[in-house]
């Protein structure tokens, strides 16, 4: 191992991104994972005294492209929520309340399904969620979400609750048990299919849409950070890239001397 030098590791890292007789080129993400593994191996060898130096310490993994979160247009959000189900049924009331909550607060789907009745304050229009690391945050509840949740609690949840063994969870299934994350995902997927949305819609799509629409409306990125429960503003700033791209498109199509 002592014969391996920094140039050897650097050449190996570069070869990962180049097709050869042994196979095709790796993607940037796969190459980066491989380089990280190689660096970990050399650090281990150094600590164990198997080699006098770490030839990989200055070799950086290739940078991966930054994936921008997908956000729905507001018109598509309206269409999605409108297709949640029949508001004359308990299931429809529940599904509408769930989607309104996800888009209206930016909550993670796990945070939504773990909500308990006492976490919702309809008088002061707030909802308290438990995020990653058991960190609690209080979120404002908009009018649409508040009305949908109120209707569900009064006319929907009670019908489910009598079938169960008693639980404080807000969102219940037809047997009166807490709604699972997978079932909540299925609610979103079914609504998206009924709305005939062409783009792939996931639970995080409404969270992305929430953040993007706030920033497009002029909200400060640090306020959005607090609402989303991000530990660092750096995580939230990826949404500003989406907004900047939107502004660029508007400029190109609107300004007489843009093109």
At residue 149, the 3 state secondary structure works out as: helix
Distance CA(251)–CA(259), nearest Å, equals 10
The reply to whether 251 belongs to the active site is no
The reply to whether 239 belongs to the active site is yes
- Which DSSP category does 171 fall into? S
- Which DSSP category does 231 fall into? S
> Which residue in 42, 94, 213, 230 is the catalytic one?
230
Distance CA(164)–CA(82), nearest Å, equals 28
> Which residue in 43, 132, 135, 138 is the catalytic one?
132
> Which residue in 204, 222, 248, 251 is the catalytic one?
204
With b for 16 or more beta-carbon neighbours within 10 A and e for fewer, the 238-253 pattern comes to ebeebbeeeeeeeeee
Helix then strand then coil, % of the chain, to nearest 5: 55, 5, 40
> Which residue in 96, 207, 208, 213 is the catalytic one?
207
> Which residue in 42, 94, 96, 108 is the catalytic one?
108
Distance CA(242)–CA(174), nearest Å, equals 39
The reply to whether 213 belongs to the active site is no
The reply to whether 208 belongs to the active site is no
Cβ(205)–Cβ(72) below 8 Å: yes
- Write out the catalytic residue numbers: 108, 132, 204, 207, 230, 239
């Amino acid at each position: 191992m002592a014969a391996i030098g920094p140039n050897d590791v650097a050449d190996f890292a570069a070869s990962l991104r180049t097709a050869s007789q042994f196979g095709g080129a790796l993607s940037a993400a796969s190459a980066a994972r491989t380089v990280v593994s190689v660096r970990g191996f050399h650090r281990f060898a150094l600590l164990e005294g198997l080699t006098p130096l770490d030839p990989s310490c200055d070799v950086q993994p290739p940078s991966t492209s930054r994936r921008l979160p997908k956000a729905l247009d507001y018109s598509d959000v309206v269409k999605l929520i409108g297709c949640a189900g029949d508001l004359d049924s308990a299931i429809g009331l529940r599904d509408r309340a769930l989607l309104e909550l996800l888009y209206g607060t930016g909550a993670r789907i796990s945070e939504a399904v773990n909500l308990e009745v006492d976490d919702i304050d309809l008088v002061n229009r707030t909802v308290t969620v438990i995020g990653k690391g058991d960190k609690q945050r209080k979120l404002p509840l908009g009018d649409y979400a508040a009305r949908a949740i109120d209707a569900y609690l009064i006319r929907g949840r009670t019908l489910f609750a009598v079938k169960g063994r008693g639980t404080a969870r807000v969102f219940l299934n037809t047997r009166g048990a807490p709604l699972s994350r997978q079932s909540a995902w299925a609610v979103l997927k079914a609504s998206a299919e009924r709305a005939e949305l062409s783009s792939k819609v996931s639970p995080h799509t409404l969270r992305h849409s929430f953040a993007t629409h706030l920033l497009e409306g002029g909200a400060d990125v640090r306020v959005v950070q607090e609402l989303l429960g991000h530990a660092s503003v750096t995580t939230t700033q990826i949404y500003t890239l989406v907004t900047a791209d939107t502004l660029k498109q508007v400029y190109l199509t609107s300004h007489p001397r843009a093109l």
